Amino acid sequence: MDWIQIGIVAAKIGFAVAFVMSIVPILIWGERKWSAYIQDRPGPNRAQIAGIRAGGLVHVLTDVVKLFMKEDVQPTAAMKAYWWVAPLIPMIVGLMTFTVVPWSSDFAIPAHSFGDWPAADLTIPMQVARINAGMLFILAFSSLSVYGIMLAGWGSNNKFSMLGGLRASAQMISYELAMGLSVVVMFLVYGTVRLDEIAQQQAGSIFNWGIFAPTGFIVGLIAFLIYWTSVLAETNRLPFDLPEGEAEIVAGYHTEYSSMRFALFFMAEYAHMIVGSTLTVTLFFGSYNIPFLRPETLQANIDGVLIALGCLGIPVNLFFAWLAWKRRRRVFYLSIRPDDPRQKEPKFWVAVWTMAALASAGLAVLGISRWVGMHLLAAETAVLLLHIGMLLVKVMFFCYVFVWIRWTLPRFRYDQLMNLGWRMMVPVAIANVLLAGIWVIIRETFLA
């Protein structure tokens, strides 16, 4: 392995970490804002930088400052080693599981693209580690994160924390089973456990997506519902957030944590949300693939796609600019003082959206100039970016569903949780695996 390859791997690791960690603050903001809109209130809207409040995004920055400045309280009775290690585990595990997720089709560099390098055709897989265990690696690792919660609960030396830890471990073990069984359905349908191969098979028509279990629709749908419910339970989100259960056990396993240690738990929850959404997308919703556009088709017609994107982007961005301009007449702007810095907000947004419209126009011009299509590497890069963008859109949608569910459903009672897990989901999941097996046999023997 030469230096260039090490560099490439390092860049991919950096990208994976950046991908997760840069969505986390957006999700924290989203959680506040989307929940506010569900509950008919405006959400965070006070913090501002030079009068620009960016719909509450600035609050995330103030959060960071707050968490860093806060006192890091260490309970004297806590078991130091466990207590120190616990917050690290969920975060590390969350990032680890992201390593086998593919985020684009292979990036091919033909021989001698840059002078002598590369000596032979080079294909870079667009995932950090292409290991043949694939999804099994994720199942193995994601169940490790419960150790962080258990250690936090036990190490805090606090009854509430311990109850939280106990609940978390019982819950995770029960739901891991149903999750594994629903993933088995996907293994059966696609005949592989490797996520990159699953992603490749989902290219093209949306009926290749996992949720349609090409296309034993019922099997895929049931598998998805079970998988999604288990992901909710695995991430300790409502309606399964019994480990935190503010109403009953203070804050559960992180009762004794403050400052950045709490922030680690907090961020780990969001990192797990992102990883959970990414896996759902990868298994059931076509991964990075753009519907009806195979990677090869996309690369061949990259200029046309760019033109279409640019032409679509101009009116959309101009519409937002118009909306921003219209919002200067809001009651809010009329009632604050004329010299208030927030008065320049509408102008700022008009400028931002107009720039975005100009960028779209630039994209369209780039497409018309056919420059991207003529250069192989440029086309590859464009495909890579489009795929990552598509993945991002899908992941953000499922993150939204996370938030949406959280602010809609009440928390399950513990016996309801266990009943649902063991009496409903596990039997249904087993039946679904049988059904999937039958469907695959039918497909292989009669429809092949």
Which residues of the chain form contacts with another protein (CB under 8 A)? 34, 37-42, 225, 330-332, 335-336, 404-405, 407-409, 420, 424
| Min separation Cβ 243 and another protein, Å | 20
Q: Does residue 89 contact residue 145 with C-beta atoms inside 8 Å?
A: yes
In the complex, least distance from residue 6 CB atom to another protein, rounded to whole angstroms: 46
CB-nearer residue toward another protein: 38 or 122:
38
Q: Kindly state the smallest distance separating residue 48's Cβ from another protein, in Å.
A: 12
Nearer Cβ to another protein (258/343): 343
Given a contact cutoff of 8 angstroms between Cβ atoms, the answer to whether 143 and 175 are in contact is no
Beta bridge partners of 49: 52
Query: ∠101-175-443 over CA atoms, to 5°?
Result: 65
| Residue closer to another protein, measured from CB, 225 or 311 | 225
Q: Which of 158, 40, 21, 28 is nearest to 91 (CA)?
A: 21
Q: How far is the CB of 50 from another protein (least distance, A)?
A: 17
Closest approach, Cβ 177 to another protein, in A, equals 18
- Alpha-helical runs (H) found in 302-425: 302-326, 331-335, 345-369, 371-374, 376-406, 414-418
Alpha-carbon distance of 332 to 343, in angstroms, equals 10
Measure CA 109 to chain center.
29
* Beta carbons of 213 and 220 less than 8 angstroms apart: yes
In which region does residue 370 sit, left (phi positive, over 0), alpha (psi from -120 to 50) or beta (all else)?
left
Cβ proximity to another protein, 34 vs 83, nearer residue: 34
Alpha-carbon span 268 to 234, nearest angstrom: 12
**Nearer residue to another protein within complex by CB, 194 or 237:** 237
Place of tokens 């009068």: 51
> Residue 80 or 329: which CB sits closer to another protein?
329
- Cβ closest to another protein, residue 254 vs residue 411: 411
CB of 143 to another protein, least distance (A): 24
- Say if residue 118 is preceded by a cis peptide, omega within 30 of 0: yes
Nearest distance, CB of residue 419 and another protein, angstroms: 8
